[in-house]
A and B are shown apart, each in its own frame.
Chain A
Amino acid sequence: MTDAAMPLKVKRSSKWADMWASIYANKAALCSLFFILFLVLTAIVTAVTQSMGIQILPYDPNTGDMEQAFIAPCAEHWFGTDQLGRDIFSRVIDGTRISLSVGAAAVSIALITGTLLGAVGGFFGGRLDNLIMRAMDVILSVPSILLAITFMAALGRGLDKAVLAIGLVSIPEYARIARSCVMAVKANDYIQAARVTGCSNLRIILKHIVPNITSPIVVRATLGISSAVLDTAALGFLGLGVQPPFAEWGDMLARSRSFIFSAPYTLIFPGLAITVTVLAFNLFGDGLRDALDPRSRRR
């Protein structure tokens, strides 16, 4: 096609449509998005059916039959059964709900608090910055899982508290990323230009700076979901997070570790669930980063 044959009128669309077009062009991100939506749907369906007492899973995920323990994957038990004779397929599906909400909630807590703290510190600098960043250093100086346990000792046990603890200990990572990005963005003329038009500091931070630092933070957050799932498993393993018999991927992984050679399928399937989910979030995060930045949008 020659230039003359190209349509002169380029269709122009809204910002959201531009972002969607960019994700749509990135097939990996698009597939990931569908997979994430599928997971969310699964989580909602299992939650709703369970609360109504309908069983749509092939077996009850939480009750086992000791005589059926350690059955290798077969037609009846697609993913096999675990040491207590529970159907692993049902447990993996049921675990979606807890694992997904744990990951999302912990990351949201860390992301929002960390970004705001880092942005405020980087923007205002001086004493406030020092105060915030030294507080972050204190958190970073203690191993995160130990700190999460300490938090839980104060907060009490339970899944919700575990999520809160994991969220709190990962705040510094986001704060550090946000701070360094803000310091770079702050030096740009358009921040001065925003001041000139009479924007308040809050408005400058929220409207002009935060959107410009989303890329690295989004990428970090998608990685953070995976570590949050694993951290929750660790806490669950110590009896502080999800309590038996409820299914949660990380917890399933942790509890079957002694059967890694005798019955590897007890680990493989929950592990695969975590891996694929994390991969989906990473790929989607990648696509989202490109879509958020007009300069790197795919067309």
Chain B
Amino acid sequence: MLLDVQHLTTEFRTRHGVVQAVRDVSFSIEKGEILALVGESGSGKSVTSLSIMGLLSSNGRISSGRILFNGEDLLTKSEHALRRIRGNNMSMIFQEPMTSLNPIFTVGDQIMESIQLHTKLTKKQAQEKMLHLLDLVGIPNPSKRVKDYPHQLSGGMRQRIMIAIAMACEPQLLIADEPTTALDVTIQAQILDLIYRMREQFNISVLLITHDLGVVAEAADRVAVMYCGRIVEDGKTADILSSPYHPYTLGLLKSIPRLDDNADRLYMIPGMVPPPEEVPPYCAFADRCSRAQDACRQGLPPFIALKDRNVRCLNYITEDQ
């Protein structure tokens, strides 16, 4: 097991008092596995990834839980040790490739920086490695492209450069925070394919953060669905997409527009996601759920372990329904 997050709770100090963005989240990623963390905006998926990287903003803190990386608890490590792990052992790519590259340096400079920060290669060796990386991520004519500035490249190219920077030190874990959201649909598929190939080639693990179930279906081995800071269901991608147990997961799947469906209106989950400071002390989805019973509002449902998945619902959907 490469990454094992246990009972992670992350909270922020805000004007409304302390708000929990991530509540008692546990999941793990094996070596070479792609886990997708799915949820709407504000469900806590990005905060989860920042907690793992140790990059929470100054008003955020991890109030409980453990994050084991290769068996070592990251939360007990010094900032210095964490800095060595970042880039070396874990890397991250972001949603917006337009802004995640420094506009005043050539892309070559930025890849070189990442290589030279973490390896003791000579300049020449580092350059060779850079060209090799660019070739690997599918940048045509790399020796020319390295002299380009970010604004001279397309979004898809920039995301490839970001992946090259992230892969520069052969990390064990790649966190991809909505890596395809800002890209064209055709480019999305290429980038997902690239992430997939990186996994095959280097046996890295990927934490894929997305709100797009299409992305999940295409790339992930396992899925964890988050709602209001909690994981409500997790299991193998094929199982969850074909037969969701949690009513929220079902709602998400039904919200995907379909071409072969002649419905006049798109399906919408009724109600709204409660703001983080108003999440009820019982099942957070109960107030929007058609299957809710009185028991759902009595207390927090336990995380029920079934044979192929875990689900946090008292009245979960069974296969025969």
Contact = CB atoms under 8 A, between A and B. Distances in A.
B316 interface: no
A115 B230 CA distance: 44
Contacts, number: 75
A198 B58 contact: no
B117 interface: yes
Interface stretch (A170-178, A205-213, A237-245): A205-213
B44 interface: no
Interface residues of B, number: 34
Nearest to B103: A295
Contacts of B47: none
A50 interface: no
Contact of A193 (B104, B117, B149, B162): B162
Given A198-B87, A198-B88, A294-B104, A189 B96 contact: yes
A194 B104 CA distance: 14
A207 B55 contact: no
Q: Which of A12, A125, A195, A198 has the most CB of B within 10 A?
A: A198
A189 B97 CA distance: 9
Contact of B55 (A15, A192, A208): A192
A32 B304 CA distance: 75
B94 A198 contact: no
B99 A188 contact: yes
B297 interface: no
A197 B87 contact: yes
A193 B100 contact: yes
A195 B53 CA distance: 9
Interface string B47-64: 000000101001000000
A276 to B, nearest CB: 31
Contacts of A292: 104
B117 to A, nearest CB: 6
A11 B83 CA distance: 39
Interface in A240-299: 292-295
Nearest to A124: B58
A190 interface: yes
Given A196-B86, A196-B92, A295 B151 contact: yes
Contact of A192 (B87, B94, B117, B151): B94
Contacts of A2: none
A190 B149 CA distance: 14
Contact of B104 (A125, A199, A211): A211
Interface string A161-202: 000000000000000000000000000111011111111100
A126 interface: yes
Given A198-B88, A295-B151, A192 B165 contact: no
Given A189-B100, A192-B94, A293-B104, A198 B151 contact: no
Contact of A15 (B95, B101, B106): B106
A192 B88 CA distance: 16
A126 B87 contact: no
A83 to B, nearest CB: 52
B114 A197 contact: yes
Contacts of A126: 58
Interface in A109-150: 125-126
B102 A208 contact: yes
B254 interface: no
B55 A195 contact: yes
B236 interface: no
Interface string A96-108: 0000000000000
B9 to A, nearest CB: 22
B210 interface: no
Contacts of A190: 99-103
A196 B87 contact: yes
**In the A-B complex, the 4 residue pairs with the closest CB atoms:** A198-B87, A189-B100, A197-B87, A198-B86
26 contacts: A12-B144, A15-B106, A188-B99, A189-B99, A190-B100, A190-B101, A192-B55, A192-B94, A192-B100, A193-B94, A193-B162, A193-B165, A194-B102, A196-B53, A196-B86, A196-B91, A198-B83, A198-B84, A199-B113, A207-B113, A211-B104, A293-B103, A293-B104, A294-B103, A295-B103, A295-B149
Interface of B: 53, 55, 58, 83-88, 91-92, 94-96, 99-106, 113-114, 117-118, 144, 147, 149, 151, 162, 165-166, 168
